Amino acid sequence: MTPFDLQRAAGEFVAARAEARLVAALPPDAMPATPAEAYRVQAEIARLCGGYRGWKVGSLTAEAQAAAGIDRPTGARLLSRFFHDAPAKLSRRRFVQPTLECEVAFEMAADLPPRATPWSLDEVHAAIGAMRLAIEVADSRLPEPRATAMNIADAGASGAFVLGPAVLSWRSMDRGAIEAVLEVNGAEAARGSGSRILGDPLRAVVLFANAPAPFGPGLRRGDIVTTGSLTGMTPVAPGDRAVARFGFLGQVEVEFTS
């Protein structure tokens, strides 16, 4: 059997991201065919790009996992060089087909490494330092149809991450009741609530802590873990200015130049 060409696969994904284009057709020996191969590619991409600063989690429900042909949540490394503090100004030309997602993320204050005994909700709760408001710029570099393994390798279609303010009072609030409104050029484009994420976005962190990505250290102190879109996916064009408003909790702003 021909060995899997990890370097060729990772190199193509890195080049596609840098050149804002679709991933070229890969030869069979460089095409990740299983989640295990895909996570190896993802880890190598992070190494080539200078590291990662956190995770985006997905496939949180049994229905989503069945549709993807997997039996656990997915995790995608959020590459450090594509993190931006809000308000941010990004070039639309850096992306292939970007969409905006209003998200709730959690900043880890302690490590949660893989272990045989599941991490409890209370343990995960205690390991988090703050909740953060955010906008993810999702951007798939894959042609249709998108196989699950290829999507994992492509960092779960993560393009950039705009990190907003910390919410220190998150422990005592009803996180499922958090409301987000996305405005694009002053007009409402989408809205949603934290209830969309398993009723409480914190539950996504618990699931991922207990089913971390292979070939990784689990959750590390300082990691940002983003839990999914409260508002769906909204396309963005050159010149657009987007503001995610989370009521009294704060807002996150990003502008796209041509």
User: How many residues are given for the chain?
Assistant: 258
Per-residue pLDDT tens for 214-238? 988 999 999 999 999 999 999 999 9
pLDDT at 3: 86
In the chain, what are the domain boundaries? 52-257
The whole-angstrom separation of Cα 149 and Cα 31 is 9
The whole-angstrom separation of Cα 205 and Cα 226 is 8
Element (H, E) at 183: strand 179-184
pLDDT at 1: 55
pLDDT at 215: 85
Per-residue pLDDT tens for 102-149? 999 999 999 999 999 999 999 999 999 999 999 999 999 999 899 999
* Ranges of residues in the chain whose predicted pLDDT is under 50: none
**If 0-12 CB within 10 Å is exposed, 13-18 middle and 19+ buried, where does residue 186 land?**
exposed
CB 155 within 8 A of CB 142: no
pLDDT at 91: 98
The whole-angstrom separation of Cα 65 and Cα 59 is 5
**If 0-12 CB within 10 Å is exposed, 13-18 middle and 19+ buried, where does residue 232 land?**
middle
Scanning the chain, the segments in alpha helix (DSSP H) are: 6-19, 35-48, 62-68, 121-127, 148-153, 202-209
The answer as to CATH 3.90.850.10 being correct for domain 52-257 is yes
CB 65 within 8 A of CB 73: yes
CB 215 within 8 A of CB 39: yes
Any bridge partners for residue 131, and if so which? Answer: 106, 167
pLDDT at 233: 97
pLDDT at 170: 96
Looking only at the bridges linking them, the beta strands covering 83-85 and 158-167 are: parallel
pLDDT at 157: 97
